[in-house]
Structure 1
Amino acid sequence: MNMEKKLNSDTKERLFSLDTLRGFDMLWIIGGGSLLSALAKATGWGWVEVLAEQMHHVPWEGFRFEDLIFPLFMFISGVAIPFALISKLEKGVGKPELLKKVFKRMVLLVIFGLIYNGALKNGFSDLRYLSVLSQIGIGYFFASVIVLYTKSIKARIFWLIGIMAGITILQLFTPVPGFGAGVITPEGSINAWIDQTFLPGRLIYDTYDPEGILSIVSATVITLFGSFAGFILRDKATSQQRKAGVLIGIGIPLIILALLLSPVYPIIKNIWTVTFNMLTAGISFILMALFYYVIDVLKWRNWTFFFRVIGLNSITIYMGVKIIDFWHASEFLLGFVANPAGDYGDVIFTLGKITLEWLFLYYLYKNKIFLRV
């Protein structure tokens, strides 16, 4: 971990759109979804209720916007791989040194995940060992290894297809004791059997963990997809407009293929089915293309500052909202306005919470303090 007082030289290659998209994604985690839910409750407006419903995970099979947030973050971390690693390779940094760097990143994120899950608060008894952060770190590590130690795009595509094929075979065709093959339920999936058999500690659900062992392997696909987007965006021989078009041209077929396969291979976030990977990767490619075209091609950047402040310290605020009670601070400061406001009170408190979180990040931004993991 490196607390920097200035942005390093790599930021010369940094995409405004990448930081903005990361901040947009993180906003929904730190309060954007809660704000929509509070608005829906207060107003009763149908269109707000429809949006608010999208901010809740589907119980099992299906897809809502909330199900995109995590894989989109992993996709974004993959986009950064060519900028963070390949640029250093080109400057003469050795692969062993870069491998050490990404391994250290993985270990730190696993440790942060343990802290997030309560290791310091409750100890290791009945601790959930895997987490969102550990999945990001491990997925980034393996995707980086593939990128660093393959010499061509064909080899990387081979790895991508190989991982997806392996997950498909395990989830659809591998017999699970007591259930048989292809039983994709919380109790009968191969994910559940692997987690119960090999994963120590507490599972977040009774029979499986959504960030379990097989889910992590499967989710590596999302990060690897992101790295392909990163290579496209970094290609100096391709025009900016064409880059955006290529990203959309990859995203749309992935979405169509996922939807076509979904009747026989359901889209399920909780066990990261391959169809879920393809759907979310497809949407992520399109979002990346749109943000890139608007921000880095057309250079419409005035609106991006709010999101970039969040995106530049995304891990900081993810950990911060777990440790710092921004909601209590909002109640303390705004109770005199919110308490008499009835159902709109939660809207005011949530807006206050988001504002305090952003001001905290703005303070770090103004002092050029960025948590690099």
Structure 2
Amino acid sequence: MNESLPSTPATRLTSLDAMRGFTIAAMILVNYPGNGEFIFEPLEHAAWNGLTPTDLIFPFFLFIVGVSIVLAFTRALEQGVAKGVLYNKVALRALKIFAVGIFLTLLPYFHFSELRVTGVLQRIAIVFLVCSFLFLNASFRTLVWVGVVTLVAYWLAMVLIPTPGQGRVVLDPGNNLAAWVDSKLLPGRMWQGTWDPEGILSTFPSIVTGIGGMLAGRLLLSSRTPHEKTILLLIAGFLAVVLGYLWHLTFPVNKNLWTSSFVLITGGLAALVLGTAYYVVDICHYVKGTLPGIIFGANAIAVYFISEVISYLFYLVPFGGAPLNEQWFAALTHFGVAPKIASVLYAMLFVGINFIPAYVLYRKKIFIKL
């Protein structure tokens, strides 16, 4: 693959901006159903091994983070910004994202004894930090090797090292090497009591998801023609998915463990979606329907933060004796709407409510960069 990085295109990649926004909208949709007991299966995470559409959302966002790093930092370097300045900006931004993640784990009661130091934003911060430093110091080939070695090493560790206390290799919830490492090294509360889906060991392969995005970003900025870029993205994505499913035979696809097979399959699907969107939107200039995604994506992390904060108003504060989500769900089911449909309609309403501040920020050209 051509590693040359010519001048950054003057225009942004509309496909990437829209993909980022729709990914955040999907994240809000699955996080906030009207009733957690009535959810369509595709809108739930796989209980353990396996893959649902919902399981694609987080890795898609990390993949997009990787692509964005390449686009933004290539532009900065071409403008003469020193690497030292970029290092400081990267470290500060990662720290702010991590701190906001910690803040969200403390809401709404701020019980520091129940503090969870891991989470979605915390993982985003770590992936952003590591991938940014890798991009500023590593070649395309080095990035490939770092990704391959990390995935293979994680696989071998998880399937060859017996879980301490078990005397054998175990990949069950709370009884695997990653959970054991978290129990020994991870401070604070864990999401599932004895294990955490954003734990220490599983963060390493999640960085590779970001590396996959950086490889895609380098391709998009290469000297190849737009059609060649599209074809290569689609081919690479297809091959990654096939390899991932072959790896699944010995290391099951599992989001909670962020297994190596999970990285390849989700990264491959992200490349397929980006390649398709790039062709349709940026090459064929068919932009109809992209604006909502662009609006959400313009302040993606800020919108995610807003959704987390205002969710307490909708889910915890009683209005007339019950929170708003319960009233909405009860009203719809009272009129004969099926419970799962009522639940997803509420989730869609909540996405729409979060679109309002996103739209205001976009119209006023306010772009919050944590």
TM-score category (smaller protein): 0.7 to 0.9
* Equivalent residue number for residue 175 of structure 1: 162
- Would you say the 8 A contact 1:17–1:292 is kept in 2? yes
Among 202, 212, 215, the alignment partner of 2:199 is 212
Matched, 1:282 2:279: no
Stretch of structure 1 that moved more, 346-355 or 239-248:
346-355
CA gap 1:366/1:11 in 2 versus in 1, 3 angstroms: farther
AA of the residue aligned to 1:297: I
Q: Distance in 2 between matches of 1:346 and 1:265?
A: 34
1:93-108 alignment to 2 at 5 Å? 93-108=81-96
**Is residue 133 from structure 1 mapped to residue 130 from structure 2 by the alignment?**
no
1:109-150 Cα deviation digits (max 9, x unpaired): 110111111167324212111111010110111111111111
Q: Using the TM superposition, give the Cα deviation of residue 347 of structure 1 relative to its aligned residue in structure 2, in angstroms.
A: 5.7
* Cα-to-partner distance string for 1:335-364 (whole Å, 9 max, x where unaligned): 798586442755654443222211221111
The whole-number CA distance in structure 2 between the counterparts of 1:79 and 1:30 is 22
Residue 263 of structure 2 corresponds to residue 266 of structure 1 = no
Amino acid at match of 1:282: G
Residues 151 and 205, structure 2, Cα contact 8 Å, conserved in 1: yes
Which has the higher mean CA deviation after the structures are superposed, 13-22 or 340-349?
340-349
Report the equivalent of 1:164. Answer: 151
What is the DSSP-based 3-state SS (H/G/I as helix, E as strand, rest coil) of the residue aligned with 1:322? helix
Deviation, structure 1 residue 261: 1.8
Q: Is it true that 1:367 corresponds to 2:364 in the alignment?
A: yes
Q: For 1:197 and 1:28, locate their aligned partners in 2 and report how far apart those are by CA, in whole Å.
A: 34
Aligned-pair CA distance for 1:301: 0.7
- Aligned-pair CA distance for 1:319: 0.9
Query: What is the CA–CA distance in structure 2 between the aligned matches of 1:301 and 1:260, rounded to whole Å?
Result: 36
Q: How has the CA–CA distance of structure 1 residues 83 and 338 changed in structure 2, closer, same or farther, with 3 Å as cutoff?
A: same
What residue in structure 1 maps to residue 73 of structure 2?
85
Q: d(CA) in 1 for partners of 2:259 and 2:98? A: 23
Shift of residue 71, structure 1, vs aligned partner: 0.5
Distance 2:149 2:99 in 1: 29
**Alignment partner for residue 16 of structure 1, among 14, 17, 21?**
14
Deviation at 1:55, TM superposition (A): 1.1
Indicate if the aligned counterparts of 1:248 and 1:285 stay in contact, CA closer than 8 A.
yes
**Residues 247/347 of structure 1: CA separation in 2 closer, same or farther (3 Å cut):** closer
What is the CA distance between 1:13 and its match in structure 2? 4.3
| Structure 1 pair 32–163 and aligned structure 2 pair: CA distance change class (3 A) | closer
What are the superposed Cα offsets for residues 273-329 of structure 1, whole Å, 9 maximum, x if unpaired? 111111111111101101111111111112100111111111112111111147479
Q: Find the aligned partners of 1:28 and 1:273 in 2 and give their Cα distance.
A: 22
Q: 1:178-220: CA deviations, max 9, x gaps?
A: 2245321123311011100000000111221100011111100
- Alignment deviations for residues 245-293 of structure 1 (CA, whole Å, 9 cap, x no partner): 1011111111111111212111111011111111111111101101111
Unmatched segments (≥5 aa) in structure 2? 1-7
Q: 1:206 to 1:86 in 2, by over 3 A?
A: same
Give the aligned partner of residue 102 of structure 2.
Answer: 114
Correspondent of 2:302 among 274, 299, 316? 316
Aligned equivalents of 1:125 and 1:13: distance in 2? 48
Higher helix share: 1
Q: Is the 8 A contact 2:178 2:200 kept in 1?
A: yes
Q: How many residues in Structure 1 have an aligned counterpart in Structure 2?
A: 350
User: Residue in 2 aligned with 1:154?
Assistant: 141
Q: Cα gap change, 1:337/1:127 in structure 2, threshold over 3 Å: closer, same or farther?
A: closer
Aligned partner of 1:343 in structure 2 is: 337
| Aligned pair partner of 2:240 in 250, 254, 257 | 254
Per-residue CA distance 1:216-253 (angstroms, 9 max, x = gap) = 11100000000001111112x21111111101111111
In 2: Cα distance, 1:86 partner to 1:171 partner: 36
TM-score, normalised relative to structure 1: 0.86
SS in 1 for 2:117: coil
After TM superposition, the score normalised by the length of structure 2 is 0.87
Tell me the CA shift for residue 169 of structure 1: 2.2
What are structure 1's unaligned runs of at least 5 residues?
1-9, 42-48
Aligned partners of 1:172 and 1:181 also within 8 Å: no
Using the TM superposition, name which of 120-129 and 314-323 deviates more. Answer: 120-129
RMSD: 2.7
2:180 and 2:44 mapped to 1: Cα distance? 26
8 Å CA contact retained: 2:16, 2:64: yes
Indicate how the Cα distance of structure 1 residues 350 and 266 shifts in structure 2: closer, same or farther if over 3 A, else same: closer
The residue aligned with 1:3 is none
User: Contact 1:338 / 1:349 at 8 angstroms: preserved in 2?
Assistant: no
